[in-house]
Amino acid sequence: MTQEYWRWKEYNWHDEKIDPRAGKSISAGCDVGSVSSQAAIMVDGQLYAYSNMRTGSDSPNSAMDAMNWALEDTVLKIEDLHYVVGTGYGRVNVPFAHRAITEIACHARGANFMYGSSVRTILDMGGQDCKAIRCDDRGKVTNFLMNDKCAAGTGRGMEVFADLLQISIEDVGEMSFQVDKEPEPVSSTCVVFAKSEAAGLLRSGWPKNLVLAAYCSAMSHRVFTLLERLGVEKEFAITGGIAKNVGVVHRLEDELGMKSLKSDYDTQIAGALGAALFAKALYEKQQAGK
Amino acid sequence: MITAGMDLGAKLIKVVIVSDGKVIARVKKTSGFEQDVSASEAMKEALEQAGVTADEVDRIVATGAGRNFAPFAHDRLTEVGAAARGAIARLPEARTVIDVGAEEGRAILITPEGRVKDFAVNEKCAAGAGTFTEAMARALEVPLEELGALSLTSDKAVPMNAQCVVFAESEVVSLLHARTSKRDIARAVHDAIASRIVSMARRVSIKPEVVLIGGMAFNVGFVESLKRTLEMEVHIPEEPDYVPAEGAAWAAYDKVAGKAAVDVQE
């Protein structure tokens, strides 16, 4: 079998130290994106378990798979979840969700939890879109801009490049710094044209690292312009898969003249986490109304 | 009077020779690594075909991306200008030229003299160009040459949500998973490009008659989608790929005749 360089690791995790049976509220979020799906489960507002996997060809199954995987090896079953919120582009197709909330709202809410209440600007770099979000100290969205029409500046665009250069997507960021001098960014915006441009650079003798540097820098510039249009207010955080690509993150920080906040939480679960936080609030409201 | 036009593209070089109001030679050659060498060879062949000597040629105009490196050329003409002048030579009623190549799409509004009134170009995004069909043919596992004919057999409009070629590739895979037939997807692909081209053309306004040139003029599926989207007749000139080279030859002709209908740069 040929190696699939674009393929990133899928995983699940749960916290052994938490006894979910003792919790008053068990809330969950399920983020069905165009490329990846995540499920997050919280017990009394603390992250208990999560999963991250590739979205399949239909949303309901992907939602189910992600949630079942998050629940795997835990003491919980899907019936034990008190309240579930679906989010992401497939949010209306989460069969076990009580409610659907947009991923913009969920990302802001999730980032507020992950990075603390000082976050005012969030860049969510997803699989097929890129969003710049401004929020207040409670993680409520005040403004946002989004590119969902074009693969430039998205995870899918990076996957295409990883495949072209035959470099595992998880190594792209580190490798892009193994250059003596920072090259000019790839000039084409369109990923299709950028691919031809990169092929030309390789033919003319550029090493792969240098081409990766040129592409990471083009991508960072692309999302920089989106952030500029929205206006960046401190503190700044990046969520989504590309947040794990230091090649893009460091170059973007340089261009912005601002560091992004770091978190121990997985940057890809921001949406699912935000959804689980909304689920908790909605569950508590429901209980209070009874 | 004898004039010549050369179109130096990234892939192909075309030479057209015009004598006393008639095209007397047409030659096509691959650009190769040394474009100027190929261009000289193409010119030599064209002269042989026309039965004239180099000295008998009054003026030569070059167009295409490599026009600045064209040997022998007296003047240069932009690709847009050459397409406009060439289209009017083929069809005097032409007022809009749509030129869709592999990586670029253009819409040109022209005057009855073949001058450019206004134009729009898409060069940033592959979704409005021929490359889109290449990527989609690959995703569908259908040979590119068959994609157009395949889409003609469809009678169903399946919407494509993705505008981006990269996203459209995944969407095609999803459509196949959902058991959408390849012919309906092929049509959706051509409809998608047509809709992008038409919305670009509307920025400069579209006036009949409409002439389509460029590589996509050979794709019957795209032509059909374009007609449907425009709700207008679309004329495909015979050997549409020679239109810009011919336009250059006619621009040279105009200049020698003192008409100077098209602005050429010396």
- Mutation to test the B interface, candidates A190, A191, A195, A197, most B Cβ within 10 Å: A190
Burial label for A288, CB within 10 Å (0-12, 13-18, 19+), is exposed
Same domain, A127 and A105: no
Interface test with A, best of B122, B123, B125 (most A CBs within 10 A): B125
pLDDT at B169: 87
Nearest-5° Cα angle at B31, B47 to A215: 160
For residue A215, pLDDT beyond 70: yes
Cβ-based contacts under 8 A for chains A and B: 42
pLDDT in tens, A110-155: 999 999 999 999 999 999 999 999 999 999 999 999 998 899 999 9
Note whether A128 contacts B165, CB cutoff 8 Å: no
Residues 161 to 180 of A: which have CB under 8 A from any B CB? none
The second-level CATH assignment, the architecture, of B1-91+242-266 is 2-Layer Sandwich (3.30)
Q: What are the φ and ψ backbone dihedral angles of B187, each rounded to 5 degrees?
A: -65, -45
Say whether both A137 and A254 belong to one domain: yes
- Are A79 and A173 members of one domain? no
Q: Binning pLDDT at 50, 70 and 90, where does residue A89 land?
A: confident
Collect all residues with Cβ–Cβ distance below 8 Å to A289 and sequence separation of at least 6: none
Q: What is the CA radius of gyration of chain B?
A: 19
> Which chain A residue's Cα is nearest to B130?
A192
CA A162/CA A22 separation, integer angstroms: 45
**Do residue A104 and residue A173 come from a single domain?**
no
Element (H, E) at A12: strand A11-14
Chain A residues with CB-CB distance to B125 below 8 A: 150, 189-190
Cβ–Cβ below 8 Å for B125 and A189: yes
Cβ neighbours, 10 Å, residue A119: 27
Domain membership flag for residue A5:
no
In a domain, A196, yes or no: yes
A35 and A130, same domain (yes or no): no
Tally of domains in chain A: 2
Residues A232 and A131 in one domain: yes
The answer to whether the beta carbons of residues A129 and A157 sit under 8 Å apart is no
One DSSP character per residue, A261-276 reads P--SS-GGGHHHHHHH
Task: Provide the CATH number for the domain around residue A83.
Answer: 3.30.420.40
The answer to whether residue A84 scores a pLDDT higher than 70 is yes
Which among B124, B163, B177 has the least Cβ separation from residue A57? B177
User: In whole angstroms, what is the distance from residue B144 CA to residue A279 CA?
Assistant: 49
* Domain identity same for A147 and A210: yes
Tell me whether residue A4 is in a domain: no
Higher-pLDDT residue of B60 and A7 is B60
CB contact, 8 Å: A3 with chain B? Answer: no
Residues A52 and A165 in one domain: no
Of A58, A149, A193, the CB nearest to B126: A193
User: Does some domain include residue A1?
Assistant: no
Judged by CB atoms closer than 8 Å, whether chains meet at B126 and A189 is answered as no
Note whether A173 and A158 are within 8 A (CB): no
Secondary structure element (H or E) that encloses residue B14, with its range: strand B12-19
pLDDT in tens, chain B (266 residues): 999 999 998 788 999 999 988 999 999 998 877 888 889 999 999 999 999 999 999 999 999 988 888 888 899 999 999 999 999 999 999 999 999 988 889 999 999 989 999 999 988 888 888 889 988 999 899 999 999 999 999 999 898 888 899 999 888 988 888 889 999 999 999 999 999 999 999 999 999 999 999 989 999 999 999 999 999 999 999 999 999 999 999 999 999 888 765 666 65
Alpha-carbon dihedral angle through residues B137, B140, B146, B147, given to the nearest 10 degrees: -70
Average pLDDT over residues A55-66: 89
Domain covering B93-236 in this structure, CATH number: 3.30.420.40
Residue A1 has pLDDT above 60, yes or no: no
Q: Scanning every residue of chain A, which has its alpha carbon at the shortest distance from the alpha carbon of B125?
A: A190
A34 touches chain B (CB under 8 A): yes
Q: Minimal Cα–Cα distance from B124 to chain A, Å?
A: 6
Contact A22, A36 (CB under 8 A): no
| Domain positions in chain B | 1-91+242-266, 93-236
Query: Residue B15 forms beta bridges with which residues?
Result: B6, B27
Considering the domain architecture, whether residues A256 and A274 belong to the same structural domain is answered as no
* Distance from C-alpha of A10 to C-alpha of A165, rounded to nearest angstrom: 22
Structural domain includes residue A6: no
Task: Judge contact between A11 and A260, C-beta under 8 A.
Answer: no
pLDDT of B257 reads 85
Yes or no, beta carbons of A156 and B166 under 8 Å apart: yes
ipTM: 0.83
Contact flag B166-A151 (C-beta cutoff 8 Å): yes
Residues A127 and A37 in one domain: no
Does B166 contact A192 at a Cβ distance shorter than 8 Å? Answer: yes
- In what helix (H) or strand (E) does residue A279 lie, and over which residues does it extend? helix A270-289
CB-nearest partner of B164 from A58, A149, A196: A149
Contact A191 B177 (CB under 8 A): no
Domains B1-91+242-266 and B93-236 share a fold: yes
Q: pTM of this prediction?
A: 0.82
Amino acid at A290: K
Domain of A46?
Answer: 11-109+269-289
Query: What integer is the mean pLDDT of A230-235?
Result: 95
